[in-house]
Amino acid sequence: MKVVVLTGAGISAESGVPTFRDADGLWEGHRVEDVATPEAYELSPTTVHRFYDARRAALLSVDPNPAHTALARLEQSLGDDLLVITQNIDDLHERAGSERVLHMHGELRSALCRACHGRHRWDHDLVDLPPCPGCGVTELRPDVVWFGEIPYEMDRIAVELARADLFVSIGTSGAVYPAAGFVRQAMRYGARTLELNLEPSEGTVWFHEARHGRAGDLVPEWVAELLAGVSR
């Protein structure tokens, strides 16, 4: 059985990672258009670098929660038959032990070179404009997909959704495209679809089944059910 899981801000929020969908509509005190668009970067690269440098440093103060751990456990059983597609730019899935994770919106712990287009594992600040490890040019930017940019690996995602027997959406609002359209893509090719979210998402009607509550409760329960079924 092929399982594709899509995760969003809700799963990270339970680890204490602040998201821009918080109640005040700001992301750590910033308007999204001031820190998460190519235009903002052109206008004030220093502001944007400081913002992501702080987010990257803040990863050290959060830990994976039981939802991340349960998905890593599921990967141990399903292997290549599980793919986690995440909209999150933190590294909590990896730190819980997951290896098959596709970061469609990029990663905080990665830098993208605007000169050679290389992507480099990055755990330091970018604000002092360090040289690219690949080409030496000082054009490294945060390797995150900003509003107005195309998410990573959309072709591969389309193939994986078409192959999926089960599509599970965890902690996503169902408001941000293209990810919000994945459920319908998977369903068109015959996948069963399940939503696990704090509240009904905007796309909740598209799911065969929806369970509402904390990811830290719902995901371990669901993984236990699935593994019991697989071993039967």
Catalytic residues: 105
Residue from 116, 129, 159, 175 touching Zn ion (CB under 5 A): that is 116
Q: Is 132 in the site for Zn ion (CB under 5 A)?
A: yes
Select the span of 101-109, 126-134, 166-174, 181-189 touching Zn ion (CB under 5 A): 126-134
- Which residue is listed with tokens 């107005």? 148
Q: What residues contact 61, with CB distance under 8 A and at least 6 apart? A: 16
Parallel, antiparallel, or unpaired: how do β-strands 209-212 and 192-197 relate? parallel
| Residue 135 in the binding site for Zn ion (CB under 5 A) | yes
Q: How far is the CB of 37 from Zn ion (least distance, A)?
A: 22
- Please identify, among the stretches 41-49, 112-120, 186-194, 198-206, the one whose residues bind Zn ion according to the rule CB under 5 A: 112-120
> Which of these segments, 21-29, 41-49, 78-86, 114-122, binds Zn ion (CB under 5 A)?
114-122
Q: Are 92 and 72 in contact (CB under 8 A)?
A: no
Judge contact between 169 and 195, C-beta under 8 A. yes
113 binds Zn ion (CB under 5 A): yes
* Chain position carrying tokens 């602040």: 18
Q: Which of 97, 134, 181, 216 binds Zn ion (CB under 5 A)?
A: 134
Q: Is the peptide bond before 200 cis (omega within 30 degrees of 0)?
A: no
Which amino acid belongs to residue 101?
Answer: V
Site pattern 66..105 for Zn ion (x: CB under 5 A): ----------------------------------------
- The label of the residue with tokens 């959704």 reads 161
Size of the site for Zn ion (CB under 5 A): 7
Q: Is 4 in the site for Zn ion (CB under 5 A)?
A: no
Report the side by side order of strands in the sheet with 3-7.
101-103, 82-86, 3-7, 166-170, 192-197, 209-212
The site for Zn ion (CB under 5 A) is made up of: 113, 115-116, 118, 132, 134-135
